[in-house]
Amino acid sequence: MNNNILVIILASGVFYGTPIFFAALGELFTERSGVLNLGVEGMMLMGGVSAVWASQHIPGSSWFVVLCSILIGAFAGSLVAALHAFLCITLRTNQTVAGLSITIFAGGLGLSSYFANVWDVASETVKHPIRILNPGGLSDAPIVGPIIFHQTILTYLSWVLCVLSLIYLFRTRTGLKLRAVGESPQTADAMGINVVKYRYIHTILGGALAGIGGTYYSLTIVPQWVDGVTKGAGWIAIALVIFGFWRPDLTLLGAYLFGALQSLGLILKSRNIEINGSLLDAMPFIMTVVVLVLVSGGWAHKRLQAPASLGVPYEREER
Amino acid sequence: MQSPLRLERRLTQPKWLNWGVPLLSLLGALILGAVVLIASGKNPISVYMRILERGFASTDAFSRTLISATPYAFTGLAASVAFRMGLINIGGEGQLYLGTIGAAFAGIAFADQPTPIIIAAMIICGMLFGGFWAAIVGVLKAKFSTNEIITSLMLNYIAAILLDYLIFNSKSYWRDPKSFGFPTGKRLVEGAYWYDMSFGPITVPFGFLVAIITAGIVWFFYNRTRFGYEVSVIASSPSAARYAGIRTRWKIITVMSLSGALAGLGGASDVGDFRHVLDAKGVQIAGYGYTGIVVAALARLNPISAIFVAVFLGGLSNAGYALQGPDFPSGLVGTLQGLILFTAVAGEILTRYRIKRQTHVAEGVPA
Amino acid sequence: MADYIDSKLTVTMKGIVKRFPGVVANDGVDFEARAGEVHALLGENGAGKSTLSNVLTGLYRPDEGTISLNDEVVHFDSPREALERGIGMVHQHFRLVNSFTVAENIILGEQTKSIMMDSSAAIERISTLATQYGIAVDPNARIWQLSVGEQQRVEILKALYHGAKILILDEPTAVLTPQEADALFVVLRSMVAEGRTVIFISHKLDEVMAVADRITVLRAGKTVSTIECATTTTRDLARLMVGRDVVFDRVVRTNHAEPDNVVLQISNIDANDDRGRQALTSIFLTVGKSEIVAIAGVAGNGQRELAEVISGMRNATRGTVAVNNEVIPNGRVRKSMSAGVSHVPEDRLHTGLVADHSVEDNLILKSYRRAPISKFSILRRSVIRDQATDIIEKYDVKTPGTTTPVRLLSGGNVQKILLAREFNSSPSVMVVSSPTRGLDVGAIENVRKRLVEAADSGVGILLISEDLEEIFALADRILVMYEGTIVGNIAAHNATRESIGLLMGGIAIHQETN
């Protein structure tokens, strides 16, 4: 039964969707604070390459190394995000352009590739990849086994984060303030909320999550360093936030949909089903465009819950 | 939050900013680049000297630099024409790929024609293919107001897959049937090679001259015609454009297509001047389209400046190719380009604000 | 809950100076408001009223001067700190999160250790406060569902909830009908009766006389005088405010309106707003040659949509617009321009003009397609410059040059440029929206004079305004818009403030339908 193609598609949807979800959840926090971050791809790659470095160089037990790698991946992502925050929040540059420069600077042809070369991390496979777990020996259980119990620690972490972020955004006072900052910074400021602080924190948090997403690529999916390993996942994550109406739960579902799309080519090929591989490879990108068209035109447009001040720098002494 | 410096809005933009900001940006990028180099155990002075040497300092090197500069000039122009209307077309990369496909098609199909006809056909096909690719983005934006940033970027990935498909995963018109093992594209006949023009000891590729002429035309279009006036109104104030009866939707499609056609022309020049084949991997590694964004930003969207910036960045990447090795890792050029883009973007702040020392440091003004 | 607040606050501001790049907004202002009074801050636009209140609430930090509460000098770094000391403000543009409920907006600023959001206690307190002051608001309603007047009440409730003893209201009646304004005054009086202080910012003389105990007049960033309301008259106040005698009397016309010689005819127009909801319902109206027809109404009742339908910026879903007896194709800006419609939109700087563009480029916004401005699609720069130089001289525009961006000019000069361009197109009909909003007295006089000149020369003018004084000064005929329909059509000499005010509040309709 676990060989059923539907089960495999669902299981790989979760497997390949997890890093996209991390990045998208990060972007969601950032956008909820009113900052648009188009540098996700760059942050993922910086996280990914740093995590590989950590995995190669940190001594200790496998568990310890993996934990450190994830933390270092997150840290690297958050450093790049701090740069974005400085440009957008303090210098009030155009957020679109700032995010683009981050991706060009840190992306597949830039700093992440440079570090990979300087650190010489690309030559061998990762020593301590993040392994797929088998909690309670349940991964052979029918249907739920592969989907739920044949995943890495990061997938379980992502589920916890999804629940926590729902509570945070919609049930806590800090979440209320965060949403106020993204909707109307003037109002938030008048109510004594430190707009700059909220935006910095959530932009940096977003970068950390993107870094973890990148780490998942370099330590789980591949697991080896390849320049530009995320192959546009950062951009798909940005589109997913729109697709998920800025809600963590819907974004999680969207991420799994895209994860399934990404793996479809491999699955069908392994089943000897004749299908144009290039077309399948292009599917996630085509679907992103289709999804964007669907949510930007017509009925969905009116229901979109984009934070009202998304992308608008906040300046108090406006005159 | 208290800070000793504060930003104060500028009421007017002094003229010196036009050249001062890019120069300051460049200087800032070199300093930041030095920090990166030192951090990774390299001597920045010697790296910069070698870039200068291998990029600009000899006639040979400079001739090669112009070859790299040509696609940058086109993608820089492509980004500028779109950005000037507030359209963030970052699909220059994919549009350039389509341009190479179109130009290679024309080069193969018209192989028995005289050179001027082949070149003309390559230019036209390159522009048509690139323009079509960008028009998809334009139509989606105009019709459904779909965010052009993400769609144009997605089309880059799709174009890359298409390139790979044509050369590696199918028996297409472009693929050389005689290539075994590692598949390659059909090599163009020599009659399809673009001219090399000699100006003294320097060889100037034909594409570079086309780029200069194109830049002049773009400048005229944007500064002296009704079309340019309408574009500037839309860019500055969409509601004023609606008020004046300017048809924004058509302009979005037109400008996107124009932008894509220019990027496609860049692809054609790369095939005609340099590769003479549809080189699926080579053109992807080059990253011309993304660099075009750097060109446009540093040139402050001015088409004439874009040519100079393209030469500068062309030298940088030409040196990068020449020097590549353990001492000069790949990714360094991209990093430096990224830093230049950063500082150019941050430099824009100087055009909008003055940085003032806080007058009441003790009290501080809430940032 | 205490019915009478326990401590009274007197706020004193001395020698307040606040500079912005290129402007000194407050230039040594002295101001004092005592507990238990409604203290009006009166001044023209740009006199420095809003800046002063932003200084008082900690949004701006003064460059010089001191603020004291009951003789204790205080510094506020943020509105939050001011509110903690009992100073609350209701801004002209409300500080509310539209997608939040009333209760969420109010608890947003609550200082508390609890992590989770609990709105039930807050809702109870809000309801108590609301009943106490007779402010009816549903705590669970979302802000975007409320009318502007209701949103204002939420702002007042919010300030009271957070313990404001001094409440500053910035131009609170600008968005209200006269009757709603009266209701607001009752709430304000009940607040001062408890010992609170209300600082009431306005440039309208009548309402200041109606609500205030004392009045401080500001002019050009300086305090002119503080006077007891009982000892002054509107005439005196006007002189203090402007620095000379001004009375906006009815402007004298040299040419009489010809309402029967119709230049603009609107028949049975329906249209939707930007969100796709119906904004206009079967509008019929005519404007005659040389006639000034005013449309009165509270903003947001379809006036903007009507202006946009006439100018072709918006599609009508039903009905026709005809100019000089010729029907204009629906939703075609260029067609209505060439038919002789000219439009002065309320958002001058970003719709009527392009803020970042130069004076000369703005003057060709409607003529750039035609000779002599352009030929074979190419702009003729020298012609454009000559035209700009002529217009600047003829309309007395104060600008450093023809290439100066219009955003750097004063409001009055911006409006001069816009009007100059529109007059220059020799229109048959002008649709003019809030033409004097935000201008100083001199500029207001100038604009009104120009409009009357245009009417005298035969242009039919549709004047859309929320300013009743302006309407009474200019109009031959007054129409009132309420919820997308025209609810009254009265000759100006038969109209009274009260009758128009009632119509603006939709009263007449309800009487008919009930």
Where residue C250 falls among pLDDT bands split at 50, 70, 90?
low
Segment C196-211 mean pLDDT: 89
Tell me: pLDDT of C244 over 70.
Answer: no
**B207-216, B292-301, C130-139 — which is least confidently predicted?**
C130-139
The alpha carbon of residue B352 and the mean position of all alpha carbons in its chain are separated, in whole angstroms, by: 25
User: Which residue matches tokens 């500068």?
Assistant: B312
List residues bridging with C272 in a β-sheet: C278
Q: What is the per-residue pLDDT for B331?
A: 84
Of C332, C333, C379, which has the smallest distance from its Cβ to B229's Cβ? C379
Distance CA A289, CA A283 (A): 10
Subunits with 3+ Cβ pairs within 8 Å of C are: A, B
Residue type, C464: I
Say whether residue B10 is in contact with chain A using an 8 A CB cutoff.
no
pLDDT digits (tens, 9 = 90+) for C474-488: 999 999 998 899 998
Of B9, B151, B335, which has the smallest distance from its Cβ to A105's Cβ? B335
Contact B354, B10 (CB under 8 A): yes
Distance CA B71, CA B65 (A): 11
Strands (DSSP E) found in C273-356: 278-289, 292-296, 316-323, 326-327, 341-344
Burial label for B263, CB within 10 Å (0-12, 13-18, 19+), is buried
Q: Which residues of C122-158 are buried (b: 16+ CB within 10 A; e: fewer)?
A: bbebbeebbeebebebbbeeebeebeebbbbbbbbbb
Q: Is the peptide bond before C372 cis (omega within 30 degrees of 0)?
A: yes
Q: What is the per-residue pLDDT for C2?
A: 38
Distance CA C148, CA C137 (A): 12
Residue of C nearest to B12 (CA): C408
Q: Which has the closest alpha carbon to A219: A52, A65, A10, A89?
A: A52
Q: What is the per-residue pLDDT for C249?
A: 63
Q: Do B237 and C350 touch (CB under 8 A)?
A: yes
- Chain A residues within an 8 Å CB radius of C19: none
Chain B residues 160-179 with a CB less than 8 Å from chain A: 161-162, 164-165, 169-170
Mutate to test the interface with A, among C117, C143, C158 (most CBs of A within 10 A): C117
Distance CA C378, CA B255 (A): 18
- Between β-strands C72-74 and C64-69, what pairing exists: parallel, antiparallel or unpaired? antiparallel
Q: Could you give phi then psi for residue B7, rounded to 5 degrees?
A: -95, 135
Where residue B337 falls among pLDDT bands split at 50, 70, 90?
confident
Tell me: pLDDT of A301 over 60.
Answer: no
Question: Taking CA C488 as the corner, what is the angle to CA C483 and CA C491, rounded to the nearest 5 degrees?
Answer: 145
Where residue A132 falls among pLDDT bands split at 50, 70, 90?
confident
- Chain B residues within an 8 Å CB radius of A113: 329-331, 334
Q: How many CB pairs under 8 A join A and C?
A: 79
3-class state of residue C269 by DSSP:
strand
Tell me: pLDDT of B1 over 90.
Answer: no
Q: Which has the closest alpha carbon to B89: B148, B3, B158?
A: B148
Q: What is the mean pLDDT of chain A?
A: 89
User: Which residue matches tokens 């300087």?
Assistant: A118
Contact B270, B96 (CB under 8 A): yes
Quote the DSSP letter at residue C341: E
pLDDT digits (tens, 9 = 90+) for B22-39: 888 889 999 999 998 898
- Between β-strands C278-289 and C258-272, what pairing exists: parallel, antiparallel or unpaired? antiparallel
pLDDT digits (tens, 9 = 90+) for A28-57: 999 999 999 999 999 999 999 999 999 999
In angstroms, what separates the C-alpha of C78 from chain A's closest C-alpha? 7
- Chain B residues within an 8 Å CB radius of A110: 331, 334-335, 337-338
Q: Which residues of C377-406 are buried (b: 16+ CB within 10 A; e: fewer)?
A: eebbeeebbebbeebbeebebebeebeebb
Contact A234, A288 (CB under 8 A): no
Segment C95-99 mean pLDDT: 91
Distance CA C358, CA C407 (A): 9
Tell me: pLDDT of A303 over 60.
Answer: no
Q: What is the mean pLDDT of chain C?
A: 88
Where residue C384 falls among pLDDT bands split at 50, 70, 90?
very high
Question: Taking CA C459 as the corner, what is the angle to CA C454 and CA C464, rounded to the nearest 5 degrees?
Answer: 85
Question: Taking CA B54 as the corner, what is the angle to CA B53 and CA B58, rounded to the nearest 5 degrees?
Answer: 70
Higher pLDDT, C1 or A298: A298
User: Which residue matches tokens 């005659």?
Assistant: C288
Q: What is the mean pLDDT of chain B?
A: 89
In angstroms, what separates the C-alpha of B91 from chain A's closest C-alpha? 12
Q: Do B9 and A319 touch (CB under 8 A)?
A: yes
Cβ-defined contacts of A276-283 (< 8 Å, 24+)? A277/B169, A278/B161, A278/B162, A278/B164, A278/B165, A278/B169, A278/B170, A281/B161, A282/B157, A282/B158, A282/B161, A282/B162
Residue type, B47: V
Q: Do A186 and C105 touch (CB under 8 A)?
A: no
Distance CA B333, CA B321 (A): 9
3-class state of residue C96 by DSSP:
coil
User: Which residue matches tokens 């709603």?
Assistant: C180
Where residue B181 falls among pLDDT bands split at 50, 70, 90?
confident
Q: Do B236 and C354 touch (CB under 8 A)?
A: yes
Tell me: pLDDT of C273 over 90.
Answer: no
CA contacts within 13 A on the Cβ side of A123: 5
Question: Taking CA B10 as the corner, what is the angle to CA C434 and CA B300, rounded to the nearest 5 degrees?
Answer: 105
Q: What is the per-residue pLDDT for B360?
A: 43
Where residue C460 falls among pLDDT bands split at 50, 70, 90?
very high
pLDDT digits (tens, 9 = 90+) for B126-163: 999 999 999 999 999 999 888 899 899 999 999 999 99
Distance CA A249, CA C416 (A): 54
Q: What is the per-residue pLDDT for B121?
A: 97
What the block records as the tokens of B197 is: 């023009």
Distance CA C160, CA C163 (A): 5
Of C333, C379, C408, which has the smallest distance from its Cβ to B11's Cβ? C408
pLDDT digits (tens, 9 = 90+) for C40-77: 999 887 788 888 999 998 888 899 999 999 889 999 88
DSSP code per residue over A249-263 = HHHHHHHHHHHHHHH
What the block records as the tokens of A161 is: 């984060």
Q: Do C378 and B229 touch (CB under 8 A)?
A: no
In angstroms, what separates the C-alpha of A194 from chain B's closest C-alpha? 9
- Chain C residues within an 8 Å CB radius of B236: 354-357
Tell me: pLDDT of B359 over 60.
Answer: no
Q: Do B145 and A286 touch (CB under 8 A)?
A: no
The alpha carbon of residue C44 and the mean position of all alpha carbons in its chain are separated, in whole angstroms, by: 13
In angstroms, what separates the C-alpha of A231 from chain B's closest C-alpha? 8
Of C78, C347, C378, which has the smallest distance from its Cβ to B366's Cβ? C78
pLDDT digits (tens, 9 = 90+) for C281-297: 999 999 999 999 999 98
What the block records as the tokens of A246 is: 């800025």
List residues bridging with C69 in a β-sheet: C11, C72
- Between β-strands C214-219 and C38-42, what pairing exists: parallel, antiparallel or unpaired? parallel
Segment B1-10 mean pLDDT: 60
Residue of C nearest to A168 (CA): C116
Q: Which has the closest alpha carbon to C196: C8, C328, C351?
A: C8
Tell me: pLDDT of A16 over 80.
Answer: yes
What the block records as the tokens of A61 is: 């037990």
Q: Do C333 and B243 touch (CB under 8 A)?
A: yes
Tell me: pLDDT of C510 over 50.
Answer: no
Distance CA B56, CA B54 (A): 6
Contact C204, C173 (CB under 8 A): yes
Distance CA A59, CA C9 (A): 66
Q: Does the model's pTM come out above 0.90?
A: no
In angstroms, what separates the C-alpha of B205 from chain A's closest C-alpha? 26
In angstroms, what separates the C-alpha of A186 from chain C's closest C-alpha? 7
Q: Do A227 and B331 touch (CB under 8 A)?
A: yes
Q: Do A93 and B345 touch (CB under 8 A)?
A: yes
Q: What is the per-residue pLDDT for C227?
A: 92
Distance CA C303, CA C471 (A): 15
In angstroms, what separates the C-alpha of C464 from chain B's closest C-alpha? 17
CA distances, B220 to each of B87, B227, B241, B251, C46 (Å): 20, 10, 21, 17, 42
Tell me: pLDDT of C473 over 80.
Answer: yes
Burial label for C65, CB within 10 Å (0-12, 13-18, 19+), is middle
Q: Which has the closest alpha carbon to C172: C262, C50, C289?
A: C50
What the block records as the tokens of A75 is: 């840290």
Q: Do B236 and C332 touch (CB under 8 A)?
A: no
What the block records as the tokens of B273 is: 């001047």
Chain B residues 80-99 with a CB less than 8 Å from chain A: 88, 90
In angstroms, what separates the C-alpha of C359 from chain A's closest C-alpha? 21
Contact A154, A18 (CB under 8 A): yes
Tell me: pLDDT of A302 over 60.
Answer: no
Q: What is the per-residue pLDDT for C205?
A: 82
What the block records as the tokens of A28 is: 């969601």
Of A101, A117, A196, which has the smallest distance from its Cβ to B367's Cβ? A196
List residues bridging with C288 in a β-sheet: C262
Distance CA B191, CA C396 (A): 66
